[in-house]
Amino acid sequence: MKRIVRLTESDLARIVKRVINEGSEKAVLDAGWNRDATKMAVAFGTPTASDGGVSSGIQGVKVVFDGLIYNASNKVTYEGKMAFYGRCDKNGNPGAMSGVDLNDVLSGGSYYLFGYGGKVDTVARNWCKTKTGVKPTGYVDSDFVSMAKEDMAKGLKRS
């Protein structure tokens, strides 16, 4: 025999709020703002690196991960598997990555800058060092992981 449970509107609102809050506590492994700071890419799981091609004599790295992209109004605009491309040259920052291709990063296009020391940045640097012998130096930037956690804690709206 099935049991019938009656919920008030406030009970239902409380349950929905709790589910949203628990969902937003999903571990944020890395995140990066795009150049004009209107969108953020957030990585979940373990990113993997592979050959991202060669352009202008510079070896690239491709990093694949599960994640989401949301815009400045806190709406999720994409969720799923993503591939970002970075550069492996000595003065490059492989954490400056594009979802388009290596040329987009080299031309100063609309790339995303991932947090220094985050999972995406680290797997890119390690791949460059192991496969090409070049240890990219690049620069240290904002703590995107903390920024992402703060924004995620607010709760994301699906578009």
* Residues contacting 81, CB < 8 A, separation 6+: 64, 65, 66
> Measured between alpha carbons, how far is 149 from 133 in angstroms, rounded to an integer?
34
Question: Smallest Cα–Cα separation from 105: which of 130, 136, 145?
Answer: 136
Q: Tell me the H-state helices in 24-84.
A: none
| 82-107 pLDDT per residue, tens | 999 999 988 778 888 999 999 999 99
| 10-51 pLDDT per residue, tens | 776 676 666 555 554 455 667 788 877 788 888 887 899 999
CA dihedral 84, 87, 88, 89 (to 10 degrees): -170
Question: Smallest Cα–Cα separation from 96: which of 78, 126, 71, 121?
Answer: 121
